[in-house]
């Protein structure tokens, strides 16, 4: 495992650990170098699972969310992996299907790896899962900073069962967050307001009301993330 990014860490009610990158520079990288380095729960059991009928893809347990900037995502496979070059186009189509209204990543393909450059931009629409909710079933994967001060959110679950979604709020705009889980948290990509109360950038708040309105009063679009079960 390579961890070349600096993070601020928050422990949320002993349910989740939230890590938000800081002071990133071009070339900073975090990487998985073996299948054994996939995220696990508190008992050491793997949190990811194979996609039904498609063992060469997995339902990712990484749950990364790009909040700002530009990143390169790379997956590299070997003969022992279930994913190979014959699956690349299907994987790319799947990722692009999760990015309606956005410019697809710039993709470079090779016989043993794929690289995708993501430029983080505002995406209109409603709550949706991140594009990386499904990934190739291979040993090696990495995320590299391509633009200085890019921001990466890494929520880590202690047990299975959490759902991770996000929505973008335009400058001066608002979104209504309906409570959809028994336990639910909101993470704010920019400074916002709720009922006149200012919420600091990168704050984590537990939603207890059935519905609330989040206003973006910053100078950039806000990627609002919700985690619930």
Tokens linked to 78: 């070997």
Q: What is the mean pLDDT of the chain?
A: 91
pLDDT tens figures, 100-145: 666 788 999 999 999 999 999 998 788 988 767 789 999 999 999 9
Same domain, 143 and 185: no
Pair 173, 131 in one domain: no
pLDDT tens-digit map of 21-78: 999 999 999 999 988 877 777 777 777 888 999 999 998 877 889 999 999 999 999 9
User: Could you count the other beta carbons within 10 Å of the beta carbon of residue 124?
Assistant: 11
pLDDT of residue 157: 78
Domain identity same for 149 and 175: no
Query: Do residue 205 and residue 169 come from a single domain?
Result: yes
List the 6-12 sheet strands across, edge first.
6-12, 16-22, 151-157, 65-68
Question: H helices within the chain, ranges in order?
Answer: 88-97
Residue 93, helix vs strand vs coil: helix
Residues 192 and 168 in one domain: yes
Which of 139, 157, 175 lies at the terminal end of a domain, its last residue? 157
pTM over 0.85: yes
CA distances from 203 to 22, 27, 76, 100, 186 (A): 14, 26, 34, 27, 8
What is the chain's length?
229
Taken in order 92, 93, 99, 104, the sign of the CA dihedral is positive
Count up the domains in the chain and report the number: 2
Residues 168 and 128 in one domain: no
Give the domain range for residue 37. Answer: 2-157
């Amino acid at each position: 495992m390579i961890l070349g990014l600096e993070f601020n860490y928050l422990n949320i009610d002993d349910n989740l650990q939230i890590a938000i990158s800081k002071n990133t520079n071009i070339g900073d990288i975090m990487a998985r170098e073996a299948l054994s380095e996939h995220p696990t729960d508190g008992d050491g059991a793997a949190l990811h699972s194979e996609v039904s009928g498609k063992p060469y893809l997995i339902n990712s347990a990484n749950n990364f969310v790009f909040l700002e900037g530009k990143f390169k995502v790379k997956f590299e496979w070997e003969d022992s992996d279930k994913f190979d070059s014959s699956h690349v186009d299907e994987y790319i189509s799947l990722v692009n299907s999760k990015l309606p209204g956005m410019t697809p990543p710039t993709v470079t393909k090779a016989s043993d790896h794929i690289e995708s450059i993501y430029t983080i931009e505002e995406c209109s629409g409603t709550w949706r899962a991140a594009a990386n909710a499904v990934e190739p079933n291979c040993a090696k994967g990495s995320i590299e900073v391509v633009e200085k001060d890019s921001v990466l959110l890494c929520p880590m679950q202690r047990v299975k069962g959490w759902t991770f979604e996000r929505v973008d709020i335009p400058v001066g705009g608002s979104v209504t967050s309906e409570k959809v889980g028994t336990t639910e948290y909101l993470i704010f990509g920019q400074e916002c307001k709720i009922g006149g109360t200012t919420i600091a950038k990168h704050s984590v708040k537990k939603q207890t009301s059935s519905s609330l309105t989040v206003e973006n009063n910053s100078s950039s679009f806000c990627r609002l993330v919700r985690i619930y079960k």
